[in-house]
């Protein structure tokens, strides 16, 4: 079975959560007889490269408007690759993708993974809405990553007859195993007990609320990741006189694994629906860490069950976030119980093999009509 994945960015140009989901699917599905190919855009396009064990083609990005890449060459590239595929797997949101889908007039079985609502570009959304609904209506199946999101998305509710739920999953074997030397070095640098956040420093991550929650506390926080709000957040930490916050910037997968292994708890304060799932939150569950997150009606509360795998608090509520941090930091029994539960939930619900088996079954059912 030949599957074509189509999304605006991919490795090695970009390393976001959607890219990781596509990578996990492309790599693990080969064990089920699937040959996966990815088509994406790039400012430095390559006609053919191998990422992991699957093939990637990048079309030249002509311009970018409101985080939406456009490409003149993608129309021909898509038509060529789609004609060779048995099924096309789109990844939403990306308005240009909808245009390519209709312009190509390729009649192949098609599904779309609905990764997120469009939250921020409200004016452009009004213009795009008719095309969006036409595109979603043309799909054989729309896949949401959690029942929470399927219920809370107005767009998905409108197309509920086409919606299936397949949670994201991770392949633990693809994560590096940090050496004892590396762990000792990080422990020496960060101390024996710290809170951890991993992710891009973007507007919807809620890190300003997390810093407010730590004001006056002496709990060490490690922030791993870079992004447009980095300088603003550092200035806020300085104003609040937070002496125990360390901004590490972008880190390697090897160092991320070390930090996840060493941290006391994982804090994920995303407060807007732009955070549709939270791959970093899932990674922390894989490492058996207690989780602290916000209730925003998305997959974050599907990963983190309040009072079981950790604590969820109202979005943007620094005081409730502060109380949750204190509970996980000071209550050793609760800390251990939540960490163990997070690991069990990962094993039963979020493995890459479970995700891939569900997608392959879906591919086959659609191809077979």
| In contact, 197 and 266? CB cutoff 8 Å | yes
Mean pLDDT of 119-146: 91
Per the prediction, the chain carries an average pLDDT of 95
Is 3.40.50.2000 the CATH number for 173-349?
yes
Q: Which fold has domain 2-171+351-367?
A: Rossmann fold (3.40.50)
What are 67-126's pLDDT values in tens digits? 788 999 999 999 999 999 999 999 999 999 999 999 999 999 999 999 999 877 777 778
What are 200-258's pLDDT values in tens digits? 899 999 999 999 999 999 999 999 999 999 999 999 999 999 999 999 999 999 999 99
What's the pLDDT band for 65 if we cut at 50, 70, 90? Answer: confident
Tokens for 102, please give them.
């209709």
Q: Where in the chain is the domain with CATH 3.40.50.2000?
A: 2-171+351-367, 173-349
Q: Is 230 helix (H, G, I), strand (E, B) or coil?
A: helix
Q: Is the model's pLDDT at 330 over the cut of 90?
A: yes
Please report the pLDDT score of residue 75 as a whole number.
97
Please report the pLDDT score of residue 225 as a whole number.
93
Q: Is the model's pLDDT at 26 over the cut of 90?
A: yes
Q: Is the model's pLDDT at 302 over the cut of 90?
A: yes
| Reported pTM | 0.88
Q: Is the model's pLDDT at 66 over the cut of 80?
A: no
Q: Is the model's pLDDT at 335 over the cut of 80?
A: yes
Burial of 226 (0-12, 13-18, 19+ CB in 10 A): middle
Mean pLDDT of 22-46: 95
Q: Is 177 helix (H, G, I), strand (E, B) or coil?
A: coil
What are 4-14's pLDDT values in tens digits? 999 999 999 88
Distances (CA, A) of 11 to 20, 49, 169, 242: 9, 10, 18, 35
What are 145-199's pLDDT values in tens digits? 999 999 999 999 999 999 999 999 998 998 999 999 999 999 999 999 999 999 9
């Amino acid at each position: 079975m030949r599957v074509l994945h189509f999304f605006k960015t991919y490795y090695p140009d970009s390393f976001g959560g959607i890219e990781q989901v596509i990578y996990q699917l492309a790599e693990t599905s080969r064990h089920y007889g699937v040959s996966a190919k990815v088509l994406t855009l790039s400012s430095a396009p390559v006609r053919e490269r191998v990422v992991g064990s699957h093939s990637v083609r990048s079309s030249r990005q002509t311009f970018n408007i409101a985080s939406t890449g456009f490409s003149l060459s993608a129309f021909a590239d898509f038509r060529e690759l789609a004609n060779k595929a048995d099924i096309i797997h789109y990844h939403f949101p990306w308005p240009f993708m909808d245009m390519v889908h209709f312009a190509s007039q390729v009649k192949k079985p098609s599904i779309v993974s609905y990764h997120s609502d469009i939250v921020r570009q409200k004016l452009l959304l009004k213009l795009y809405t008719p095309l969006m609904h036409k595109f979603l209506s043309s799909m054989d199946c729309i896949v949401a990553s959690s029942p929470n999101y399927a219920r809370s998305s107005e767009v998905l509710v409108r197309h509920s007859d086409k919606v299936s739920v397949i949670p994201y999953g991770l392949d633990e074997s693809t994560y590096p195993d940090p050496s004892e030397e590396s762990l000792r070095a990080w422990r020496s640098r960060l101390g024996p007990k710290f809170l951890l956040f991993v992710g891009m420093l973007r507007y919807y991550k809620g890190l300003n609320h997390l810093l407010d929650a730590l004001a006056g506390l002496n709990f060490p926080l490690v922030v791993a990741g870079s992004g447009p709000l980095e300088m603003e957040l550092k200035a806020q930490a300085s104003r609040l006189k937070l002496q125990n916050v360390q901004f590490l910037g972008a880190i390697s997968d090897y160092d991320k694994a070390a930090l996840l292994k060493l941290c006391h708890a994982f804090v994920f304060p995303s407060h807007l629906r732009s955070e549709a799932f939270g791959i970093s939150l899932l990674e922390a569950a894989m490492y058996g860490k207690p989780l602290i997150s916000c209730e925003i009606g998305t997959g974050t509360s599907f990963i983190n069950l309040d009072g079981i795998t950790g604590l969820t608090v109202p979005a943007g509520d620094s005081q409730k976030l502060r109380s949750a941090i204190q509970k996980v930091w000071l209550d050793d029994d609760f800390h251990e119980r939540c960490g163990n539960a997070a690991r069990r939930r990962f094993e039963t619900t979020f493995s890459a093999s479970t995700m891939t088996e569900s997608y392959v079954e879906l591919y086959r059912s659609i191809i077979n009509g």
